[in-house]
């Protein structure tokens, strides 16, 4: 594929949205054609699935149901948005991708990382990001940030033990893929942005 696929990962409250917007602004000013998207979501169908997944009223959702809903939303997203954009030579910046499912459902929910990777291999037609920025942050700091900024969704309302397992999952995942570039999310936003820009310049 002719385009560049960039994903952002990290525990809740790690500052992904801020860095994604900063990178989007930078690349757009440089003249690149950029598609900014998110998961779950990114298409009309996927956004409807997102509403089901994140609705706090759906606390009884089973781990496998959760994993399959994420994969379904992702399959539509890849088919409708990501593949066409990459084929046309665009840069795609995505807030979360398969790594989130491997960590949240595979590790933190206990379904197994390999199982969730296999499910998502089919959902994505095997597509992987060119680079993934992992903004890492201790669970208690991330959730504190979230509580201060907005009402928490179903996953954000999980126990601190769950969020600590998410952090553990990301620490396991970063050693499995060379494309994952870890950044300390406790640093100032401008510093994080400058690190990301230097890495992107080397790739471009």
Determine the Cα angle at 193 with ends 188 and 196, to 5°: 130
How many domains are contained in the chain? 1
Q: Say if residues 71 and 101 touch (Cβ distance below 8 Å).
A: yes
pLDDT at 1: 75
pLDDT at 143: 82
Determine the Cα angle at 73 with ends 70 and 75, to 5°: 105
Residuewise pLDDT in 10s, the chain (204 residues): 799 999 999 999 899 999 999 999 999 999 999 999 999 999 999 999 999 999 999 999 999 999 999 999 999 999 999 999 999 999 999 999 999 999 999 999 999 999 999 999 999 999 999 999 999 999 888 888 877 777 899 999 999 999 999 999 999 999 999 999 999 999 999 999 999 999 999 998
φ and ψ of 100, to 5 deg: -60, -45
Distance CA 184, CA 134 (A): 8
CATH of the domain at 179: 3.40.50.300
Distance of CA 195 to the CA centre of its chain: 19
Distance CA 161, CA 165 (A): 6
Query: Measuring CA to CA, how many Å separate 193 from each of 80, 86, 104, 105, 189?
Result: 29, 24, 25, 29, 6
Q: Specify the DSSP element, H or E, that contains 85.
A: helix 83-87
pLDDT at 150: 75
pLDDT at 166: 96
pLDDT at 11: 93
pLDDT at 144: 83
Stated pTM of the model:
0.95
Q: Count the helix, strand and coil residues of the chain and give each as a percent rounded to the nearest 5.
A: 55, 15, 30
pLDDT at 147: 78
What does the DSSP 8-state code read for residue 78? I
Quote the domain boundaries for residue 48.
4-203
């Amino acid at each position: 594929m002719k385009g560049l696929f960039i994903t952002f990962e990290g525990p809740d409250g790690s500052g992904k949205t801020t860095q994604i917007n900063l990178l989007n602004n930078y690349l757009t000013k440089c003249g690149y054609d950029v598609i900014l998207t998110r998961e779950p979501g990114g298409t009309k169908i996927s956004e409807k699935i997102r509403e089901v997944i994140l609705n706090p009223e759906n606390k009884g959702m089973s781990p496998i149901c959760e994993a399959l809903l994420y994969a379904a939303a992702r399959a539509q997203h890849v088919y409708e948005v990501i593949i066409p954009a990459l084929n046309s030579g665009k840069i795609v910046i995505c807030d979360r991708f398969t790594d989130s499912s491997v960590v949240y459902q595979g590790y933190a929910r206990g379904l197994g990382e390999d199982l969730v990777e296999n499910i998502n291999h089919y959902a994505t037609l095997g597509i992987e990001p060119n680079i993934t920025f992992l903004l890492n942050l201790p669970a208690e700091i991330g959730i504190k940030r979230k509580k201060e900024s907005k009402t928490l969704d179903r996953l954000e309302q999980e126990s601190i033990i769950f969020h600590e397992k998410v952090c553990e999952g990301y620490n396991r995942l970063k050693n499995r893929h060379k494309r994952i570039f870890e950044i300390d999310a406790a640093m100032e936003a401008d510093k994080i942005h400058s690190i990301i820009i230097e890495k992107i310049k080397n790739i471009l």
